[in-house]
Amino acid sequence: MNHTRLIAFLILVAIIVIGGLATLFSTAYRIDEGKQAIILQFGRPVGDAVTEPGLHFKTPFIQKVRRFEKRILAWDGDPNQIPTKGREFISVDTTARWRIVNPLQFYTSVGNEAGAQSRLDDVIDSVVRDNISSTELVDIVRSADWEMTEEKLQKIKEMKPEEKQEVLTKEVKTGRKKLTRNILQEAGEKTLEKYGIKVEDVRIKRINYIPSVRKQVYNRMISERNRIAEQYRSEGKGRAAQIRGETSRQLAGIRSDAKRKAEIIRGEADGKATEIYNEAYSESPGFYAFYRTLESYKQSLDKDTVLMVGSESDYFKFLRDIDASMPSPNNSQSK
């Protein structure tokens, strides 16, 4: 009997201890450094937000803890097609950084981070659209303290004269920095009191023309590059013609000088040949006449020419005279 009572007592003590521990665990809760929380009682927030990290207590069983991020969160919107004040349609891609500063207001207005992202889509996109549509394109892409650099100067040099004038003289009234500050201020005012969200920063990630306008811009860029390439080709052709003309002039000079020297050499050679011919003629006029006759035949006749020479011609007479003047073999031997 005593043994049965002891077992029952131990079971009762165990139940009391377990219940106490369960009550303690349901009463105490911990908040991490990067978190903040609100207390919900029957689904409704009660008390102030808990923002200090550490161990905290609540009423067990009827109260629940809802935690939220205290750290900075990111928002990235979708690119939107927006007309500027000058009616240039551009694609604007925006990003922002935000955090929850009033968990109670945040919970009652948007509920969770997904709901906050949806509200930020509406608020920031609307503010960006209003500011872009009331601003000139030059103020969107340039800052008020824009300075000329070598790279920018080179790009401007390649532009058409009217485009150069527009870029260099157009006044920047707002500028990119002031535009983003205006967007940040307006978006922050709309989200802080209404949703408990503080927008820490807004940036324009990318600005580009819409596809239809971009195609026109690319075509204009291609035309401009083709014009510059044609200018380079024209300058190259002019330079090539100049080089060819200079080369032809030098070549004509070289040929003229060579021809002059050749004529001098040829004249000297002809004079020397005449001198030799004169010496040969003075020593043997008959042989010289015969030699000149053979030379004339050689120059005036070819292998297909048939020449009829009479027996009374000077050529045969010359051959007979040579044959008569030559000694016979027998006479040479007897002598």
Enumerate the domain spans of the chain: 19-69, 73-209
User: Residue 282: what pLDDT?
Assistant: 76
> What is this structure's pTM?
0.54
Residue type, 165: Q
Q: How wide is the angle at C-alpha 187 spanned by C-alphas 181 and 193, nearest 5°? A: 130
Tell me the C-alpha distance between 208 and 116, whole Å: 28
Q: Is 96 helix (H, G, I), strand (E, B) or coil?
A: strand
73-209 adopts what CATH topology? Tetrahydropterin Synthase; Chain A (3.30.479)
pLDDT value at residue 87: 82
Average pLDDT, the chain: 79
- Residue 322's closest CA among 300, 299, 298, 291? 291
* Concatenated DSSP letters of 281-303: HHH-HHHHHHHHHHHHHHHH--T
What is the number of alpha carbons within 13 Å of residue 4 lying toward its C-beta?
Answer: 1
How confident is the model at residue 331, as a pLDDT?
A: 47
- Going 119 to 125 to 128 to 133, the CA torsion angle's sign is negative
Q: CB of 61 within 8 A of CB of 22?
A: no
Helix ranges (H only) for 66-112 are 103-109
Long-range CB contacts for residues 122-125, cutoff 8 Å, separation at least 24: 123/187, 123/190, 123/191, 124/75, 124/77, 124/94, 124/96, 124/183, 124/187, 124/199, 124/202, 125/77, 125/80, 125/94
| pLDDT per residue as tens digits for the range 166-204 | 555 455 667 788 889 999 999 999 999 899 999 999 998
How large is the average pLDDT for residues 34-59? Answer: 88
CA 117: distance to chain centroid? 36
Strand partners, 99: 198
Q: How far apart are the first and last CA of the chain?
A: 188
Q: Which pLDDT score is estimated for 326?
A: 46
Window from 10-14, 57-61, 154-158, 291-295 with minimum mean pLDDT:
154-158
Rg (CA), the chain: 56
